[in-house]
Amino acid sequence: MALSGLEIFKKLPKTNCKECGFPTCLAFAMQLAAGKVELEKCPHISDEVKEALSEASQPPILKVEIGVGEESFAVGEETVLFRHDRTFVNQNAFAIIIEDDMDSGKIEEVVKNINSIVYERVGQILKLDAVCIKNKSENREKFLKVVGDVTSLTKKPLILVSVDPETLKSAADMFKENKPIIHAATADNIDFFIAIGKETGCPIAVRGKTFEDIAAITEKMRNAGIKNLVIDIGSRDFKDDFYNQIILRMAAIKQKNRLFGYPTIVFPDEMTDDPLKETLIASIFVAKYGSIIVLSNTNSQNIFPLLIYRQNIYTDPRRPMQVEQKIYEIGSPNESSPVLITTNFSLTYFIISGEVESSKVPSWLLVMDVEGQSVLTAWAAGKFVPELIAQFIKKSGIAEKVKKKEIVIPGYVAQLQGELEEELGEEWKVVVGPREAGEVPKFLKEYIT
């Protein structure tokens, strides 16, 4: 179990020197116990105490890294139950299932689909994360061959699933450089998997039907020095598994029970044969609390909504997504091209720039830093107001790039037109653009004629 704030406090220097950024050692200890601050922030802790406190300074759910190279990812490291309490840290990973009795052509097709699913939204790349290979054939040679074939087709991290520990040992030995998850250790074969974990360094999935089973396995693993664990408490029944995910997360975060403080893996692919239902189930695990979510299909109508939903859940509510304040050139504009202005909320920028691009009218898009707020929010907060907009336009350098001194403001803030013209001076004219982004192409085409 993790140390309490008072237990940590007893080990600190108690000088209240404030160098950690907290007014007292006790305040620092409380934050450390809550996993909200790094132990390194106190420069006065001896190595001995550091070692004793290192566990307390780790997040209640440990971070586990899967795979190697540019496609590797991390899960876990969460510190809160609800996104609005602070933020979620490492987004869920989506894995697609491949069964080793599928024919090689089908396997190649699925892996190519997995690789090809890449979307860009508000400046972020959305994609699938892993391939889960199941030893459905229960044939070791076949399984190893399929794993080898898949690794030649993708760099995505792997989850290797078999009911035969010897097959998993062979796979872990052969593919340990790829750092796949080995699924799964159970109460019956724990010593065998401790050896695999120690020899290969691969993350181990631990499977149990009850919380007592899981606690017994993770405790034994921890005592053996293996913390690279992923919990599978699934009965493959949605209701049970949903409940289990919540209990695990609460035990790890609220009770600080280290035996449950690991990322989890869930298998919606085994809960239903209906692709739409699978997507709905997966979406629930995105929010609560499946760290790795295994799916059966790569249809874009199923995957795309999940990727978008995950992106929204895993943005940091304390930091609005924003783009850089600057003049964006869309389609090689010249001195006669229209000049538009908007705010630096990512979604606003990408929607407006997308519509300007689709209009095929080369334009200058001025993006003003309003701390990542949308146009109306920034206006209501006093950040997108005539005085500040005029200051930005004058400093931006746009006047040197265009002959026609006209600027198009969003239709939602049409009321700023007169005051902004006053702030900008006689040289500039302010034009009110459309309220909705979808009307931008039509507006621009008419505007330049």
Q: Is 201 in the site for ligand SF4 (CB under 6 A)?
A: no
- Per 3-state DSSP, the chain is made up of helix, strand and coil in percentages (nearest 5) of 45, 15, 35
Whichever of 9 and 88 has its CB closer to ligand SF4, that residue is: 9
Q: Is the Cβ of residue 7 or residue 164 nearer to ligand SF4 in the bound state?
A: 7
User: In terms of CB distance, is 16 or 139 closer to ligand SF4?
Assistant: 16
The residue among 32 and 158 lying less far from ligand SF4, judged by its C-beta, is: 32
Min. distance of Cβ 46 from ligand SF4 in angstroms?
A: 11
- The contact pattern for ligand SF4, residues 24-53, with x = CB under 6 A and - = no contact, is -x--x-------------x-x---------
Applying CB under 6 A, which of residues 1, 6, 10, 19 lies at the interface with ligand SF4?
A: 19
56 is an interface residue for ligand SF4 by CB under 6 A = no
Strands (E), 172-228: 181-185, 204-207
Q: CB atoms < 10 A from the CB of 286, how many?
A: 21
> Could you tell me how many residues of this chain bind ligand SF4 (CB under 6 A)?
13
Distance of CA 396 to the CA centre of its chain: 34
Amino acid at the residue 47: D
Q: What angle do CA 413, 414, 416 make, to 5 degrees?
A: 75
Binding range to ligand SF4, per CB under 6 A, among 19-27, 199-207, 271-279, 298-306: 19-27
Tokens (6 digits) for 278: 């699978």
**Which C-beta is closer to ligand SF4: that of 6 or that of 17?**
17
What are 292's two structure tokens?
A: 């790795």
For residue 145, state whether it binds ligand SF4 (rule: CB under 6 A). Answer: no
Count CB neighbours of 25 within 10 A: 22
Q: Which residues contact 1 (CB under 8 A, 6 or more apart)?
A: 256, 257, 258
Q: Which residues pair with 408 in a beta bridge?
A: 340, 431
Spatial separation of the C-alpha atoms in residues 95 and 156, rounded to whole Å: 9
**Is 365 in contact with 437 (CB distance < 8 Å)?**
no
Q: Which is nearer to ligand SF4, 42 or 182 (CB)?
A: 42
Q: Is 12 in the site for ligand SF4 (CB under 6 A)?
A: yes
Instruction: Choose which of 18, 112, 155, 435 interacts with ligand SF4 (CB under 6 A).
Output: 18
Residues 6+ apart with CB under 8 A from 23: 16
Question: Considering only 9-17, 46-54, 145-153, 281-289, which stretch makes contact with ligand SF4 by CB under 6 A?
Answer: 9-17
Question: Is the preceding peptide bond at 184 cis, omega within 30 degrees of 0?
Answer: yes
Among 7-15, 117-125, 208-216, 409-417, which window interacts with ligand SF4 (CB under 6 A)?
7-15
Which of 17, 68, 163, 414 lies at the binding interface for ligand SF4 (CB under 6 A)?
A: 17
Q: Which of 13, 148, 397, 418 binds ligand SF4 (CB under 6 A)?
A: 13
Under the criterion CB under 6 A, does residue 20 sit at the interface with ligand SF4?
Answer: yes
Task: Determine the Cα–Cα distance for residues 79 and 226; give it in Å rounded to an integer.
Answer: 21
Q: What is the binding site for ligand SF4 (CB under 6 A)?
A: 12-13, 15-20, 22, 25, 28, 42, 44
